[in-house]
């Protein structure tokens, strides 16, 4: 598998067992200066197991996350447009030969309806997700572009979706250019596992059976002008420590070839799926304690990269991980095409079981109660703060000021238009407390935006 030196990774993990407390302290001191860690340094942290060292790792991760992004947490919703798939991934309910789920592909009018449902809940950012098989005789790229256009066309009063990201199959360079022209923000593609033998075992048939094609897809996306790329691994397929170093090897390759690393890293864990028993027989199941360390070490290793957590995780875990490095989360998700207009959540068509079934409003109440700012901001995409321009702001932590202001603006807009009584009570108090902590210039700027909101303006940003 390209870019992944398995013998190097295994050797680093073996050697890291001998690291002493001073070595760990030196690595954490480097990370607190917002410097990216090497594979060897990340391996040492992954191998640390004594309680004192692990607590130091967690405190450092919280420090770095706050230094770069502040207390804001970006919220989004996935929108599944099709569960037809030509692959046979052993862990996924969408696998081609799984007859236990109902297959469905949304047409443009249905996508508009789904988007309007999300808009009425207060969502402003959508991640389009699709199985790897085009419906109705279309090419994949045609379905993706039509779906993106449908999402952007939807409106509820003054409210529209600000930015569409997409998680989809590898495409040719010309097809990626069409995605770019359609107005996507981030292109997401997960390698799932960076261990080649495991990759080939769990992806036996279909286009996804070629691991290097998924890696090369990122290169083609960059060549097409898409400079915000999201990567990830599905934790539980192989040893979580190997996967973290695999992800970091991939980051190093991206930085070497294109000068910038991933915009986001996602950290899903395997969950049960309809019609499959794969999850019941995991050899490399990731415990909650190990998962906390995965998130913390990734935050320290690539401090500038956004980290995404899905609703696979239960509320208690999501709430904990906000403080260890997670900066983006989905909320009130459905993982099936058409799931947002179904009372059952489309469970007979879902990709995996949900761990967090709270409403968006409930997630927002939880966030503000714990001192985090819920954010629906998409300003960086609109102000061309993407790719290298974004990294130049994120790496030194100067993006934090813009993030905090825009988060507070979007939070008040949500509370004014969609918030429950509890959300408003807690949210408005939170905003007032946060406002007091701003410097004079930022406070004046925020007050001007809030005056505009009270006059009916919407979707303003720094």
Structure tokens at 80: 């599944």
Cα–Cα distance between 360 and 125 in angstroms, integer? 13
* Confidence label for 19 from pLDDT (cuts 50, 70 and 90): confident
Q: Region 428-442: what's the mean pLDDT?
A: 93
**Least confident range of 117-121, 271-275, 415-419:** 271-275
Cα–Cα distance between 294 and 245 in angstroms, integer? 10
**pLDDT for res 350:** 78
* Residue 450 half-sphere exposure toward CB, CA atoms < 13 A: 16
Q: Are 264 and 306 in contact (CB under 8 A)?
A: yes
pLDDT at 343 over 60: no
Q: Region 186-213: what's the mean pLDDT?
A: 97
Q: Are 121 and 374 in contact (CB under 8 A)?
A: no
Write out the DSSP string of 291-341: HHHHHHHHHHHSTTSEEEE-TTS-HHHHHHHGGGT--EEE-S---STTGGG
Q: Are 43 and 241 in contact (CB under 8 A)?
A: yes
**pLDDT for res 257:** 95
**pLDDT for res 327:** 95
Residue in 162, 171, 147, 175 with CA at minimum distance from that of residue 81 = 147
Cα–Cα distance between 267 and 276 in angstroms, integer? 21
Q: Measure Cα distances from 268 to 67, 155, 192, 264 in Å.
A: 24, 31, 9, 13
Is the pTM higher than 0.75? The answer reads yes
Burial 388-419 (b: 16+ CB within 10 A, else e): eebbebbbebebbbbbbbbbbbbbbbbbeebb
Cα–Cα distance between 46 and 164 in angstroms, integer? 34
**pLDDT for res 348:** 56
**pLDDT for res 346:** 53
Write out the DSSP string of 354-372: -S----HHHHHHHHHHTT-
Mean pLDDT of the chain: 93
Cα–Cα distance between 73 and 319 in angstroms, integer? 11
pLDDT at 380 over 80: no
> Over the stretch 285-312, which tens digit does the pLDDT of each residue have?
999 999 999 999 999 999 999 999 999 9
Task: Give the chain's radius of gyration (CA, Å).
Answer: 21
Structural domains in the chain plus CATH codes? 67-382 (3.20.20.70), 400-454 (no CATH)
> Over the stretch 46-91, which tens digit does the pLDDT of each residue have?
999 999 999 999 999 999 999 999 999 999 999 999 999 999 999 9
> Over the stretch 89-110, which tens digit does the pLDDT of each residue have?
999 999 999 999 989 999 999 9
> Over the stretch 352-379, which tens digit does the pLDDT of each residue have?
889 999 999 999 999 999 999 999 988 7
The secondary structure of 63-104, three-state, reads HHHHHHHCCEEEEEEEEEEECCCCCCCCCCCCCCCCCCCCCC
Q: How deeply is 157 buried, as exposed, middle or buried, from its count of CB atoms within 10 A (0-12, 13-18, 19+)?
A: exposed
Q: Are 335 and 354 in contact (CB under 8 A)?
A: yes
Q: How deeply is 128 buried, as exposed, middle or buried, from its count of CB atoms within 10 A (0-12, 13-18, 19+)?
A: buried
* Residue 167 half-sphere exposure toward CB, CA atoms < 13 A: 24
pLDDT at 264 over 80: yes
Q: How deeply is 49 buried, as exposed, middle or buried, from its count of CB atoms within 10 A (0-12, 13-18, 19+)?
A: exposed
**pLDDT for res 395:** 74
As a whole-number percent, the residues of the chain with pLDDT over 90 amount to 82
Cα dihedral value 254, 259, 263, 269, nearest 10: 20
**pLDDT for res 222:** 95
Q: CB-based contacts of 227: which residues, under 8 Å, 6+ apart?
A: 258, 260, 386, 387, 388
């Amino acid at each position: 598998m390209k870019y992944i030196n398995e013998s190097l990774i295994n050797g680093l993990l073996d050697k890291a067992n001998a690291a002493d407390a001073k070595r760990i302290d030196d690595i954490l001191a480097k990370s607190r200066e917002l410097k990216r860690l090497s594979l060897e340094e990340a391996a040492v942290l992954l191998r640390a197991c004594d309680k004192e060292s692990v607590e130091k790792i967690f405190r450092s991760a919280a420090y770095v996350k706050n230094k770069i992004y502040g207390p804001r947490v970006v919220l989004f919703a996935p929108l599944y447009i099709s569960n037809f798939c030509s692959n046979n991934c052993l862990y996924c309910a969408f696998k081609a030969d799984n007859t236990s789920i109902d297959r469905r592909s949304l047409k443009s009018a249905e996508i508009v309806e789904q988007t309007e449902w999300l808009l009425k809940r207060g969502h402003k950012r959508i991640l389009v997700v699709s199985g790897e098989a085009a419906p109705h005789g279309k090419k994949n790229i045609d379905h993706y572009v039509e779906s993106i256009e449908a999402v952007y066309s939807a409106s509820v009063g003054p409210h529209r979706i600000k930015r569409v990201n997409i998680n989809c199959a590898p495409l040719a360079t010309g097809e990626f250019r069409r995605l770019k022209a359609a107005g996507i923000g981030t292109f997401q593609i997960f390698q799932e596992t960076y261990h080649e033998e495991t990759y080939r075992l769990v992806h036996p048939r279909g286009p996804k059976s070629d691991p290097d094609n998924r890696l090369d897809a990122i290169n083609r996306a960059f060549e097409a002008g898409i400079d915000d790329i999201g990567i990830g691994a599905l934790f539980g397929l192989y040893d979580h420590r190997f996967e973290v170093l695999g992800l970091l090897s991939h980051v190093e390759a991206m930085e070497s070839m294109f000068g910038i690393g991933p915009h986001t890293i996602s950290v899903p864990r395997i969950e049960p799926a309809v019609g499959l028993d794969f999850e019941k027989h995991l050899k490399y199941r990731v415990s909650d304690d190990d998962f906390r360390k995965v998130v913390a070490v990734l935050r320290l290793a690539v401090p500038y990269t956004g980290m995404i957590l899905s609703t696979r995780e239960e509320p208690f875990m999501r709430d904990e991980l906000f403080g260890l490095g997670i900066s983006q989360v989905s909320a009130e998700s459905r993982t099936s095409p058409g799931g947002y207009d179904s009372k059952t959540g489309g469970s007979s068509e879902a990709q995996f079981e949900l761990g967090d079934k709270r409403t968006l409003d409930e997630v927002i109440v939880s966030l503000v109660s714990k001192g985090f700012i819920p954010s629906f901001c998409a300003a960086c995409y609109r102000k061309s703060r993407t790719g290298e321009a974004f990294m130049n702001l994120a790496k030194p932590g100067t993006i934090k000021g813009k993030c905090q202001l825009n988060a507070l603006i979007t939070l008040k807009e949500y509370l004014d238009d969609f918030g429950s009584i509890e959300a408003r009570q807690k949210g408005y108090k939170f905003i007032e407390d946060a406002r007091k902590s701003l410097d004079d210039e930022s406070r004046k700027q925020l007050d001007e935006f809030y005056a505009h909101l009270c006059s009916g303006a919407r979707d303003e940003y720094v």
